[in-house]
Chains A and B, each alone.
Chain A
Amino acid sequence: METEILDVEKIKADFPIFSCKSPGPPLVYLDNAATSQKPLVVIRALEDFYSTYNSNIHRGVYKIAERATAEYERAREKVRGFVSAPSTEEIVFTRNTTESLNLVAQSWGRKFVSRGDRIVITLLEHHSNIVPWQELAKEKKAQVEFAGIDKEGNLDLEDFKEKVVGAKVVAFTHVSNVLGTLNPVKEMAKVARREGALVVIDGAQAVPHMPVDISDIGCDFYAFSAHKMLGPTGVGVLYGRRERLEEMPPFLTGGDMISEVHLSGAVWNDLPWKFEAGTSNIADVIAFGAALDYLSNIGMSAVRRHEIALTAQALDELPKCDGVKVYGPSNPERRGAVIPFNVKDIHPHDVSAVLDGMGIAVRSGYHCAQPLHEWFGIPSSVRASFYIYNKGEDVDALVEGVRKAGEVFGR
């Protein structure tokens, strides 16, 4: 199909899961907003670490430990370069985006947020960018306020601008994991910083899919996960502006995050290790580096163009099916490759089951964003999300499956 910007067949050949012989129809993987598949280079990087230089980092003075440390820190430099952060000292490895956001709420928030402060988030947030702030607010007797959205699911920028006046913390998603809404993050960060607020961005659905330049956005914190961008599970990233990271206490304490420990107390390690207590997820961080190389070779602008084409095709085709309602911005340029929809009054689980029978993997439910579903007045939805190994034919298969679900369950 002409929707393909990337050479999908060549890309698919790099992912063992697509040539895995299992009973039933071949896998059409459309649950990329949940997690991505892994190319062989990433799987090999894990194998290579464990089979040839497995050792702990930052301590050993023998050859393989020096290599492990070098590869781990090289991955950090790759991350920095990938999102154009000013320095590697500002790149902290965590377990996932959720942990990155909790780190900010717990460590910075507990020190600097106090009674009566306002924390502004948006209706588009994933639970991981809601609950840590609600818990912090409960503890500090602060308030959490939600900026609204319009009927299409675009942020109500005027409402946002009004709410951020005098806010202590402003936290928002770059791309919504439910509606795909692409937020004007640079403008939002500018408005919030003018108010002197801490600016925190959840980039879990953005960094895997489009060029992201953190220096250009101008935020205090930016969080994302490796597993949604071809990397292994168990690795998250938190970019933190140096001044902010320096003024806050460590999140977890123990080994590796200290420079000196005495009977009377400890001295924290330098950035970024101050926030990486205990043995890190070394193998997975190194393999994440391989994932970043893979994506860089394709080029993030090409990834974005490819996904816009697939999204445009889906936004065009799905509503033609009887009883299908698609949610989110109508302009594919203003959303990520995440398409939520419902078929008649058929429960999303039933739609997914029919699709599963055809080898098509989608997500159904609230997608960890219950407030958003409540706002739209829908109990739950089916969500299809694309990535570099999807092609026009996959969208066709989805459309066929949705038609079939409508026939099987239509009442």
Chain B
Amino acid sequence: MSEDVYKEIIMDHYRNPRNFGKIEGPDFSAEDNNPLCGDHVEMAVKVADGKVADVKFIGRGCAISMSAASIITELIQGMTLEDLRKFDKEQLLEAMGNPDLGPVRVKCALLPLKTLKLGLYTYLSKETGTEAK
């Protein structure tokens, strides 16, 4: 893997991360880390009318993981939870300019997505649990 993977969009989001920060009282949030490289990310979402009303992230990591987190927050703003559930790896990588990341660094890009999904699934399972009652 060489520096060619650092597409303009990745460097842009790395230098100027969007939606970096904390949300007061999020409806769901999750954090995860990649123990191999020490990357850490926390994604938090506020929900209104079944849609993403606000999303923010905080974290520390390489240009790939931090730009992926930033790009995700832009992409999912206003998205329905149903679309968010379907939001996948291919959509993320396409938005990042389809960099040739290789098997090791693709995990960096997927860390924020995995973290977001973790929070979402926990939220959805609680919601269904509440409805069932």
The residues of A with any CB-CB pair to B shorter than 8 Å are 24, 347-350, 353-354, 356-357, 364-366, 370, 373, 379-380, 408-409, 411
Q: Measured between C-beta atoms, what is the minimum distance from A282 to chain B in Å?
A: 32
Given contacts A373-B38, A379-B38, contact A349 B108 (CB under 8 A): yes
Can you offer 27 A-B residue contacts whose CB atoms are under 8 A?
A: A24-B2, A347-B61, A348-B62, A349-B37, A349-B62, A350-B6, A350-B63, A353-B1, A353-B2, A353-B5, A353-B6, A354-B3, A356-B1, A357-B2, A357-B3, A364-B37, A365-B37, A365-B38, A366-B35, A366-B37, A370-B35, A373-B38, A379-B39, A408-B3, A409-B14, A409-B63, A411-B15
Contact B61 A356 (CB under 8 A): no
Those 9 A-B pairs whose CB atoms lie nearest each other, nearest first: A357-B2, A379-B38, A347-B62, A349-B62, A357-B3, A380-B38, A350-B63, A354-B3, A356-B2
Does B7 reach chain A (CB closer than 8 Å)?
A: no
Q: Which B residues are in CB contact (< 8 Å) with A354?
A: 2-3
Q: Measured between C-beta atoms, what is the minimum distance from A344 to chain B in Å?
A: 13
8 Å CB contact of B3 from A353, A366, A370: A353
Does B64 reach chain A (CB closer than 8 Å)?
A: yes
Q: Which A residues are in CB contact (< 8 Å) with B62?
A: 347-350
Q: Which B residues are in CB contact (< 8 Å) with A373?
A: 38
Tell me the residues in window 1-59 of chain B with beta carbons closer than 8 Å to chain A beta carbons: 1-6, 14-15, 35-40
Q: Which B residues are in CB contact (< 8 Å) with A347?
A: 37, 39, 61-63
Does B126 reach chain A (CB closer than 8 Å)?
A: no
Q: Measured between C-beta atoms, what is the minimum distance from B7 to chain A in Å?
A: 13
Contact A365 B36 (CB under 8 A): yes
The residues of B with any CB-CB pair to A shorter than 8 Å are 1-6, 14-15, 35-40, 60-64, 105, 108
Contact A379 B2 (CB under 8 A): no
Contact A366 B38 (CB under 8 A): yes
Given contacts A349-B64, A349-B108, contact A357 B4 (CB under 8 A): yes
Give 4 A-B pairs besides A356-B3, A366-B36 with Cβ atoms closer than 8 angstroms: A353-B3, A353-B6, A379-B37, A380-B38
Q: Which B residues are in CB contact (< 8 Å) with A408?
A: 3, 6
Closest to A380 in B: B38
Contact B60 A379 (CB under 8 A): yes
Q: Which A residues are in CB contact (< 8 Å) with B6?
A: 350, 353, 408
Q: Which A residues are in CB contact (< 8 Å) with B61?
A: 347
Q: Measured between C-beta atoms, what is the minimum distance from B62 to chain A in Å?
A: 4
Q: Which B residues are in CB contact (< 8 Å) with A409?
A: 14, 63
In the assembled complex, the Cα of A366 lies from the Cα of B6 at a distance in Å of: 23
In the assembled complex, the Cα of A357 lies from the Cα of B4 at a distance in Å of: 8
Q: Measured between C-beta atoms, what is the minimum distance from B17 to chain A in Å?
A: 10
Q: Which A residues are in CB contact (< 8 Å) with B64?
A: 349-350
Q: Measured between C-beta atoms, what is the minimum distance from B108 to chain A in Å?
A: 7
In the assembled complex, the Cα of A380 lies from the Cα of B36 at a distance in Å of: 9
Q: Which A residues are in CB contact (< 8 Å) with B5?
A: 353
In the assembled complex, the Cα of A252 lies from the Cα of B1 at a distance in Å of: 40
Q: Which A residues are in CB contact (< 8 Å) with B1?
A: 353, 356
In the assembled complex, the Cα of A366 lies from the Cα of B38 at a distance in Å of: 8
In the assembled complex, the Cα of A411 lies from the Cα of B13 at a distance in Å of: 12
In the assembled complex, the Cα of A327 lies from the Cα of B8 at a distance in Å of: 32
Closest to A351 in B: B62
Q: Which A residues are in CB contact (< 8 Å) with B3?
A: 353-354, 356-357, 408
Q: Measured between C-beta atoms, what is the minimum distance from A150 to chain B in Å?
A: 23
In the assembled complex, the Cα of A350 lies from the Cα of B3 at a distance in Å of: 8
Contact A349 B15 (CB under 8 A): no
Q: Which A residues are in CB contact (< 8 Å) with B14?
A: 409
In the assembled complex, the Cα of A96 lies from the Cα of B64 at a distance in Å of: 34
Q: Measured between C-beta atoms, what is the minimum distance from B58 to chain A in Å?
A: 14
Closest to A410 in B: B15
Q: Which B residues are in CB contact (< 8 Å) with A411?
A: 15
Closest to A345 in B: B60
Q: Measured between C-beta atoms, what is the minimum distance from A238 to chain B in Å?
A: 28
Q: Which B residues are in CB contact (< 8 Å) with A380?
A: 37-38
Q: Measured between C-beta atoms, what is the minimum distance from A34 to chain B in Å?
A: 14
Closest to B104 in A: A349
Q: Which A residues are in CB contact (< 8 Å) with B39?
A: 347, 379
Looking at B38, B39, B63, the one whose CB has the most chain A CB atoms below 10 A away is B38
In the assembled complex, the Cα of A366 lies from the Cα of B35 at a distance in Å of: 9
In the assembled complex, the Cα of A366 lies from the Cα of B89 at a distance in Å of: 27
